[in-house]
Chains A and B, each alone.
Chain A
């Protein structure tokens, strides 16, 4: 029976070619616009570490007080040196790390080589297990290397490629800012987007590489300056990097892992206790105003998804709805034009369900054809988003199998939905009236 309906549908579609083409185009364009903007939205709103994002938390402490607060009473987004070190020493979470952005120069081995500038972060040893950072060779450093301020480094495999030709370089040394560091680990491909561990400095998305990770206290010791943002509510009393460490300026990102609700609430309690201690000690002249957001909430609070992306997606979905309303109108016209044919079928004993099957098949074919056109247009759209979107974001939009399937599915389902009312009307055609009027 389905094959028969298929044949009927194809015949009917062929009969009014213009209308068919118009409907297929409308569905194709509507779906492609939505899917292209959705691919961008999906890329920027994705969870960078879905298996444990709900266990990762970003603590914020209000070390500035009321005069440094913005309108919504939020404490600073990053941490000053004093408080970051206090949290690190207290070690109240399962895993935790303070971090700051560095941009040291690295000199490749061999005489006459020019130094290259690389980016990276100074972190604690727990950074690697906390974020499940993948290693190609070796591993992160141990907790003793943190306290001993050891000259060890973890490098990206890109930098490993550049310096050691991709060989296992664990145990070899590289020169960073004129000092030798022993390589303890080489990262595998690891470029999480958004760069969730340091949203404040990257704004979320970064096309830059992270090439080196070195022990936090080591970096402080050798005076490797902060390459990320620094925000101050007061001018540091002393100048230079040491002055920055003694100031209340914020420049350090902080992340902790807390495995369950009890741990999170205990940590929250600890933060409040810490702020109260600071208040009693006279350092804070205000009541505790801390935050402890898990990663998804933090990304949301930091507005990591650009509002342009949301507006585009909404407008494109609007376009899809218009295309569907358009298709519904045209299908209605097309189906009711065949009232007499329906009348004959019904008079010859076809049930209403048969009419449904016949006309929904026709709508489905249009949807499928629109979906196939939509696939091609979505492909073209995703390939050309770099033309209209900022590079960091456009590079993330990808065409993959789930997106292709979704395109087909949305096109077909939406067209069937659009065809529902016209089909309902077709099924209501009165056979007697149609036959008589002929």
Chain B
């Protein structure tokens, strides 16, 4: 296949060629960036929480009247006992928050009491000896809290804890070179040291925002019930009894006392719902980008089909002449495929520049991550294939133009 004649012919269609190339360039720039955003969001959404999510649900419980810390603690203990006594419930615990909740309590962690800037930030989960079993999260070192270690703490008081359990992620951040077990860190409000008595397997924090990306796996368990105006009960149902457990748990709590509020819509949520809610915006963004990519590719492909069909129609006579002079059908087919390949290549080259500059702008202005070159390469291949695919039908049509066309006048 000779490229020379194709280039000469393209020069006769400068405007059309430029427009297609430009369209391909823009499509490449947008599709690369959009696919990259989709991938980033899907990676986020697929992160493990470290919680065994099936059979787990969460109850939000608000106390309508002001309770003294003692009363609140007594009620919480009675509630937990009632929940654990249900036939459909495997275990239950109370907490101020839980992984993926979105908001909650986070504290700075420091290595020494004098340190001014924090070492890192961590989610604080007020827990008891049942918390790890309820979440289904394993300890990988050390021990769980003992029931006599679990106290209670007023809702607005600064946190204080002598013994803590930390997640694997936090342990590795704080002590990258050796075991965190037995070490002390400064995380409490009173600036006293806390000793790490246990390290859990992976456990996610409540923070899911992009700002907290670096702290996403920092979780710290404190042995206390937090006696505020409201609390969460984490409940693990026996396998296969999730629906029963959710119904029974709510009834059991109201049987304890009517003086509580469990929000009607989202007061009782399965962990699957918690996850869905946490990543709502990410799914949405991925879907939106997906729709835009699809529309874009279809329109670009249709544009190529339309313009090439027109060119084929315009050149019927020339094709006829070439066929009459001995060109085979496959030569004509090759001509149009090569022509498209050249235009697409031109568009793709410009598109790479556009994609990178668009990404750079997004990185600088809107805090998007820098584009991975794999996505750029994938986008280039995608568009080359798209171009060849789109041009195939009009090119086949061109190859079927009979040689006799040469003798007909328009």
Contact = CB atoms under 8 A, between A and B. Distances in A.
Contact of A241 (B156, B281, B366): B156
Residue of B26, B261, B288, B300 with highest tally of chain A CB at under 10 A? B288
A319 interface: yes
Contact of A332 (B16, B30, B34): B16
Contacts of B50: none
B306 A390 contact: no
Contact of B306 (A18, A37, A239): A18
Looking at chain A's contact residues, the main secondary structure is helix
A387 to B, nearest CB: 7
Interface stretch (B169-177, B291-299, B376-384): B291-299
Contacts of A391: 280
Nearest to A19: B306
Contacts of B16: 329, 332-333
Most buried by B among A37, A312, A322, A330: A322
A432 interface: no
A74 to B, nearest CB: 15
Interface string B365-401: 0111000000000000000000000000000000000
Given A19-B306, A325-B22, A325-B23, A389 B30 contact: no
B109 to A, nearest CB: 14
A366 to B, nearest CB: 13
Interface residues of B, number: 59
Nearest to B289: A315
Contacts of B29: 318
A368 to B, nearest CB: 19
B191 A388 contact: no
Interface in B122-175: 154-158
B19 A329 contact: yes
Given A29-B295, A325-B19, A390 B285 contact: no
Interface stretch (A93-101, A209-217, A303-311): A303-311
Contacts of B154: 239-240
Given A29-B295, A33-B292, A235 B229 contact: no
A13 interface: no
Given A225-B156, A388-B285, A26 B303 contact: yes
A11 interface: no
Contact of A315 (B34, B280, B314, B410): B34
A269 to B, nearest CB: 32
Given A115-B64, A310-B366, A388-B288, A239 B157 contact: yes
A103 B66 CA distance: 12
Interface residues of A, number: 57
A103 B229 CA distance: 10
Name the residue among B22, B66, B229, B299 with the largest chain A CB count within 10 angstroms. B299
Contact of B307 (A115, A240, A333): A333
B15 interface: yes
Given A29-B295, A322-B300, A329 B289 contact: no
B117 A330 contact: no
B258 interface: yes
B83 interface: no
Given A103-B229, A315-B33, A329-B23, A67 B296 contact: no
A438 B362 contact: no
Nearest to A36: B288
B310 A337 contact: yes
Contacts of A337: 310, 313-314
B238 to A, nearest CB: 32
Given A117-B62, A333-B306, A389-B281, A311 B117 contact: no
A367 B278 CA distance: 41
A244 interface: yes
Given A33-B295, A311-B37, A318 B26 contact: yes
A240 B156 contact: yes
B366 A311 contact: yes
B243 interface: no
Given A114-B64, A316-B292, A387-B284, A333 B303 contact: no
B156 A239 contact: yes
A105 B23 contact: no
B96 interface: no
B287 A388 contact: yes
A377 to B, nearest CB: 10
A236 B189 CA distance: 8
Given A322-B300, A388-B284, 19 more contacts: A22-B302, A115-B64, A177-B66, A244-B156, A307-B367, A307-B368, A318-B30, A322-B30, A325-B19, A325-B23, A326-B302, A326-B303, A329-B23, A330-B303, A330-B306, A333-B307, A337-B310, A387-B287, A391-B280
29 contacts: A19-B310, A33-B291, A33-B292, A114-B261, A235-B189, A236-B189, A240-B154, A308-B285, A310-B366, A311-B285, A311-B362, A312-B285, A315-B33, A322-B23, A322-B26, A322-B30, A325-B23, A325-B26, A326-B23, A326-B300, A326-B302, A330-B306, A330-B307, A333-B306, A333-B311, A387-B284, A389-B288, A390-B280, A390-B281
